[in-house]
Amino acid sequence: MKILLISPWNTICGVSEMAHFLVQALEARGHQFVILANRFAGEYQPVGVRQDGSNVHRLFGTGFAPEGERAFDLDRAMELLTAERPDVVALNYQDFTMPDKRRLNGLLQAAKDLGCRTALLLHDDCVSRELVTGTFDYVITPPSVEFFRGVTIDQGIPEVQLSPAHLSAHKWNIACFGLGRNKSQRLIEVVRTINERSLLTLPIQLTIHAARPQQLEHSTETTVIAGYLDVTHLAQHLHDSHACVIWYPEIAGRSTSSAFRFAVGSLVPIICNRSNWVADQAGNGCWIEVPQDTPEAFQAAIIRTFQPRTYTVMRDRMTRLQRLAIQRSGWSEIARQYEALLQ
């Protein structure tokens, strides 16, 4: 099967992460991709991790781009569509990263006229009325997103080969990562308070993987790593931490968290607050659910997690549940479900 994928391929967004993992998993099953990608990712450009192949064509600007650079190069897209004749044209959609809806609609209608099947892959429930959704043969949503006539396929969990965890016996190591929404500065302040008041028997060392490190106030107990690590190195770093903290602001809509799924695949205890980013994960035992988006609630959850007499038992139990989640929703299984639907 040949798939032409329209995707914000290298933006700082979970929808881009979803695209990379899905393409990799379907290519492993023998399918081919032609990718119509973004020219402009924003002020931060990922460097040295994702090597775009000859099948990636940069044809549009995202909402991060200056106004004049957001248009979709429809002429070039039409040339590629006609030359490649894909079986499926799939739109890996996130509203802000796809500002030129008019030309998107034109390309999708042209695909239908050529006899291609079309699929809309949703990451959240924010879908502009300007996008003509009636042209799609398939609308694929994760369980957290409700959409008319949608087919539910979960977004996958990375399947990473991990070495045994090396956990420090002299300090608690917390990792924090995400694509800009994580409340990293608030976490720095919480960790500083815990350490200054000696609220744990061991100090906390915090490592933050930050897309925009200049926005963070550094402290002696904080290490900031700018930019992307490759999948294996980031997953191993999380696995070697005592916990990964993901601290989201609440949103009105329904979405799904690629960062959360990456942490599950890294087999690390996750401390995360309840919100519409992770509503589909509630009660599955793969994380420590912080009841509120407040510093006090995160401080209490961190102190409760890092108790020497109970930490190992908690981590072992959570790891077992995370392994079960990977068996159900690893990217290889999710790719099989996409294959069964689209072929």
Q: What DSSP assignment string belongs to 124-183?
A: SS---TTS-GGG-SEEEE-TT---TTPEE-PPPB-----PPP---SSSEEEEEE-SS-S-
CA distance 90 to 76: 17
Statement: residue 26 has pLDDT above 90:
yes
Which phi-psi region, left, alpha or beta, contains residue 339 (left: φ > 0; alpha: ψ -120 to 50)? Answer: alpha
| Bridge partner list, 89 | 4, 118
pLDDT at position 218 is 66
- Residue 99, classed as helix, strand or coil, is coil
- Average pLDDT value for residue range 182-209: 92
Structural domains for the chain: 2-152 (3.40.50.2000), 172-328 (3.40.50.2000)
**pLDDT tens, position by position, 55-65:** 899 899 888 77
Statement: residue 167 has pLDDT above 70:
yes
Structural contact between residues 143 and 280, judged by C-beta atoms closer than 8 angstroms: yes
- Global pTM reads 0.90
Structural contact between residues 45 and 64, judged by C-beta atoms closer than 8 angstroms: no
CA distances from 139 to 95, 334, 341 (A): 15, 15, 11
| Bridge partner list, 56 | 35
